[in-house]
């Protein structure tokens, strides 16, 4: 009789373990999907910001370049065309960020760094652990209670 009860309990325990493992896996998959969607939204906002900034900077660059060209012609000073060069580089960078392949090149470079220079990615003092987080939390609580007195 005890053997049958023990066998039934073992079977139920095994089913519970499988259920817990399945739920943990689902939760992890959902977390990964959610984090990826948040990353995609942040990247989309960054690209949208670059495109909006490009509109304003493009207008500024055009008006400034036109004014500098007119001034250089009227005053016969080629030095007035100098600021067009650095402004042109900024404009080209923003154009590449907004509509070009800069994001793809940055991703390729990041993959290269992760593959061949992973030591550069190490955090100071390593990855935070439960113990280090709890130590910081306790220290903060101790400081807070000390300041309240």
Structure confidence at residue 2 (pLDDT): 56
- Rounded average pLDDT over 94-119: 94
The two tokens of residue 108 are: 């390729």
pLDDT tens readout for residues 68-103:
999 999 999 999 999 999 999 999 999 999 999 999
* Alpha carbons 44 and 55: distance in angstroms, whole number: 17
Domain layout of the chain by residue ranges? 15-116
Higher pLDDT, 107 or 145: 107
Two structure tokens written together for 79: 């030095």
Contact call for residues 96 and 47 (beta carbons, < 8 A): no
pLDDT value, residue 141:
82
Residue 142 — very low, low, confident or very high, per pLDDT cuts 50/70/90?
confident
Three-class DSSP labels, 18-66: HHHHHHHHHHHHHHHHHHHHHHHHHHHHHHHHHHHHHHHHHHHHHHHHH
Question: Would you state the pLDDT for residue 143?
Answer: 67
Angle between helices 102-116 and 84-99 (to 10 degrees): 80
What pLDDT shows up at residue 5?
64
Q: Please state the pTM of the whole predicted model.
A: 0.68
């Amino acid at each position: 009789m005890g053997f049958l009860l023990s066998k039934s309990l073992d079977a139920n325990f095994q089913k519970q373990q499988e259920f817990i493992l399945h739920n943990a896996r689902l939760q992890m998959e959902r977390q990964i999907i959610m984090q990826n969607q948040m990353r995609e939204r942040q990247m989309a906002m960054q690209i949208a910001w670059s495109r909006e900034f490009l509109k304003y900077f493009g207008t500024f660059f055009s008006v400034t370049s036109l004014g500098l060209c007119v001034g250089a012609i009227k005053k016969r000073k080629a030095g007035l065309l100098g600021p067009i060069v650095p402004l042109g580089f900024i404009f080209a960078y923003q154009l590449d960020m907004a509509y070009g392949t800069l994001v793809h090149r940055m991703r390729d470079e990041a993959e290269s760094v992760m593959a061949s220079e992973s030591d550069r990615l190490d955090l100071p003092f390593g990855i935070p652990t439960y113990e280090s987080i709890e130590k910081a939390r306790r220290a903060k609580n101790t400081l807070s209670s000390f300041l309240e007195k």
